[in-house]
Amino acid sequence: MASQKNVKRYLAYWFQLGKKVVINNGAATLQPREVINGDRYSDEFEECWQKIISPESGDCYLEGTQETIAELLTPAWEVSPCARCSMPVPVRNVGMPPLLCPCFDLTNWPNTELPPPRSPVNNQEQLTAIRARLLNNLSSTNS
């Protein structure tokens, strides 16, 4: 089952490449301008997420895909890296995979010249982990 965290990450990555989410059965689209704010998702992204998972929004899906967000949150789906571009894509647990990756209509993707989309990063946690590795390496070379 694709967890809510993985589906949220899936949308955040594609939002960073300019994709939109179609809501209300095609009546409107959502695309936050800011997706990440430091070590968390932006308030604008969180508001979009709440609209997307709201029953009042009807069927919602990422532009260029057929699977609804509600479907992705069922046990039939997981989110895995695309074989072509390494971006997160929905994959059925059983049966045939989707025909296309959402990257199929992005003429400039994959682009290894640009930084890829990412998840929020807690700088303090990252620096603490680096410090711990350095101290571990230092203590093992002194032994």
Locate the domains of the chain by residue range: 4-142
Higher-confidence position of 115 and 68: 68
DSSP per position, 11-62? HHHHHHTT--EEEGGGTEEE--S--EETTEE-HHHHHHHHHHH-GGG-S-EE
Instruction: Report if pTM > 0.85.
Output: no
pLDDT for 25-71, tens place per residue?
888 999 999 999 988 999 999 999 999 999 999 999 999 898 999 99
pLDDT of 97 reads 60
Asked if pLDDT for residue 2 goes beyond 80, the answer is: no
What confidence score (pLDDT) does residue 86 get?
86
Residue 102 binned pLDDT confidence (cut-offs 50, 70, 90):
confident
Give the separation between CA 34 and CA 44, rounded to whole angstroms. 7
Q: Are 10 and 79 in contact (CB under 8 A)?
A: yes
pLDDT average, residue stretch 6-26:
93
Of the candidate ranges 12-16, 44-48, 115-119, the one whose mean pLDDT is the lowest:
115-119
Q: What is the pLDDT of residue 141?
A: 73
Q: 75 preceded by cis ω (within 30°)?
A: no
Q: Token digits for 70?
A: 């509600």
Lowest-pLDDT range of 41-45, 75-79, 96-100: 96-100
Q: Cα separation of 73 and 68, whole Å?
A: 9
Of all helices (H) and strands (E), which one includes residue 132? helix 123-142
Asked whether residue 1 carries a pLDDT value surpassing 60, the answer given is no
